[in-house]
Amino acid sequence: MTYCVAAAVDEGIVFLSDSRTNAGIDQVSEYPKCFRFVWPDERAIVLLSAGSLATTQLVIKQIEKDLKLTTAEDGGPAPINLRTMTAMSDIAAYIGRTSAEAQKVQRRTAPNVQLGSSFIVGGQLPDEEPELYLVYPEGNFIEVSPNQGFLQIGETKYGKPILDRILNNATTLDDAARCCIVSMASTLRSNASVGFPLDLVVYKTNSYRLDQQVNFPQGDRMFMKLSEAWSRGLLQAFEMLPRFDWESQQHRFNIGDENQSQGGSNGQQAAAIIGNPAGLPTGTQYQSVQPGTVSSQGPSVATDKDVPAAADNTGPEVIVSTEVFPRQVS
């Protein structure tokens, strides 16, 4: 399987794909899933694929074949290809037809094989705004929603939460790229069928160029820094989550009668304070209480902390605080 994601924001479009293809746990290969078609200052188109590798390769071969047709044959209409079409929706329909035809041809010899492929296609044509489409295996397609400006294909569930929380139309192009990388990092961590190398393409609106492209091989320093920073941030955010009531509430138990029955004298008071959340005054006298022992003045609490000595003769009262303090995350 694979994972591809594309995000459309006001500043442009981000495309990101992995390169892992497998036909079982012992048949893992690397094939590109990101295909670029650019005519500088005229049009820029990016195609991402997921699904049947055979179907994807047939689609790409047909696109390349059609691009070689620069003039009409036998006086017929102008050739239909990525260079001649004037709308991104026409390109999405063209990809859908080509994919459906490729599957139809293959089913003649492999009727019981899964041959479907999904595609994300986006970019910008002359005098048009940047557009982004998802093409289904059946050949139909949809445009990205203005209320959810991203599309995914392949192993989509692992990397979706961060996209839902971060992306919107006003997100900067660079932040959208970082968001997509985090989405990919989450998927890589949870799904072994997705893998390096990764291809990132960042298209800036009205540039008609693909100048910002990055390939992340296994162990890439930049990718690892982003992934590790995200992991640390998650741990820190987790430690700051609100605590349950039982983690911070102080429970008081009056056990005066029980203390007297166990041989306590003068109504000795014992207090066990865990973590000292209340902040004891300085200069307080402490007596050492061993876990699970009973002092000569009365019962103690099973704790390895020193506790204040007796303060009055009104009968013992034990104060137990279960406050939990967050750990420091380096």
Q: What is the pLDDT of residue 310?
A: 46
**157: which 2 tokens?**
């569930």
The confidence band for 25, taking pLDDT boundaries of 50, 70 and 90, is low
Report pLDDT digits (tens) over 173-220. Answer: 999 999 999 999 999 999 989 999 999 999 999 999 999 999 999 999
Structure tokens that stand for 294 in this block: 């009973």
Do residues 283 and 264 touch, judged by C-beta distance below 8 A?
A: no
Q: Are 270 and 316 in contact (CB under 8 A)?
A: yes
In this predicted structure, what is the pLDDT of residue 74?
56
pLDDT of 304 over the 60 cut: no
Q: Where are the alpha helices (DSSP H) in 74-217?
A: 88-107, 160-166, 173-190
Cα–Cα distance, 151 to 159 (Å, whole number)? 11
CB 111 within 8 A of CB 104: no
Q: How far apart are CA 176 and CA 197, in angstroms?
A: 20
Tokens of 152: 């995914």
Nearest to 51 by CA among 116, 113, 4, 103: 116
By the 10 Å C-beta count (0-12 exposed, 13-18 middle, 19+ buried), 184 is classed as buried
Q: Between 3.60.20.10, 3.40.50.720, 3.40.190.10, 1.10.3720.10, what CATH number should domain 3-239 receive?
A: 3.60.20.10
Q: What is the pLDDT of residue 73?
A: 59
The answer to whether the predicted template modeling score (pTM) of the entire model surpasses 0.85 is no
- Residue 258 confidence (pLDDT) above 70: no
CA 184 to chain centre: 6
pLDDT bin (cut points 50, 70, 90) of residue 21 is confident
| Range of 56-60, 192-196, 281-285 with top mean pLDDT | 56-60
Instruction: Give the start-to-end residue ranges of the domains of the chain.
Output: 3-239, 245-321
Flag whether pLDDT at 283 surpasses 60.
no
SS3 168: coil
